[in-house]
């Protein structure tokens, strides 16, 4: 069984297919599908490269084995289009407007502004 088949098995399993349906779809035996899925107990399969990796306890569910795979998958999904950062934010230090992703709660335009603000510089009213 190759990596593409492993990824396809996981996709079909997540879509709600049973072992028999997956076996027919891929031309593999039902026991092969069953033993592969059961071997993942405590492990996850990377959504990009298909490698098996240990799922750390106490953290949110990981779907990629490393950052390289996460970035590669994101690039493939966006098909070369840059991800647009259209959330306008004002820097707390220099008051310059910059754009950020909506999910990030950025307050500073750069690391330098963060350092200045933290050390009690420009407009730091809390100190």
The residue ranges of every structural domain in the chain are 3-78, 87-118
Torsion sign, CA atoms 117, 98, 110, 79:
positive
Q: Is the pLDDT of residue 42 over 60?
A: yes
Return the pLDDT at 80: 60
Highest mean pLDDT among 5-14, 16-25, 30-39, 101-110: 16-25
Spatial separation of the C-alpha atoms in residues 69 and 58, rounded to whole Å: 22
pLDDT at 127: 41
Residue with tokens 């190759």: 2
Q: What is the pLDDT of residue 103?
A: 60
Other CB atoms within 10 Å distance of the CB of residue 36: 19
| Tokens matching residue 89 | 């934010």
| pLDDT of res. 122 | 61
Dihedral angle, C-alpha 115, 117, 118, 120, nearest 10 °: 120
Q: What integer pLDDT is reported at residue 60 of this predicted model? A: 80
Residue 98 has pLDDT above 70, yes or no: yes
Q: If one looks up domain 3-78 in CATH, what number appears?
A: 1.10.10
Q: Is the pLDDT of residue 38 over 70?
A: yes
Rounded alpha-carbon distances, angstroms, from residue 100 to 79, 89, 124: 21, 7, 22
Backbone phi and psi for residue 45, each to the nearest 5 degrees, phi listed first: -110, 130
DSSP-assigned states of every residue in 94-114 = T--EEEE-TTS----SSHHHH
Is residue 102 scored above 70 in pLDDT? no
Share of the chain above pLDDT 90, in %: 11
What pTM did the predictor assign?
Answer: 0.39
Average pLDDT over residues 19-39: 87
């Amino acid at each position: 069984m190759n990596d593409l088949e492993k990824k396809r098995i996981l996709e079909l399993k997540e879509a709600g297919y049973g072992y028999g349906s997956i076996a027919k779809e891929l031309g593999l035996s039902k026991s092969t599908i069953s033993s592969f899925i059961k071997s993942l107990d405590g492990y996850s399969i990377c959504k990009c490269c298909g490698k098996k990796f240990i799922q750390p306890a106490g953290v949110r569910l990981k779907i990629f084995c490393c950052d390289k795979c996460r970035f590669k998958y994101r690039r493939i999904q966006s098909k070369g289009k840059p991800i647009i950062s259209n959330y306008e934010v004002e820097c707390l230090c220099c008051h310059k407007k910059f754009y950020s992703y909506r999910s990030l709660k950025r307050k500073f335009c750069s690391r330098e502004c963060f350092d200045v603000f933290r050390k009690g510089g420009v407009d730091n009213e809390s100190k």
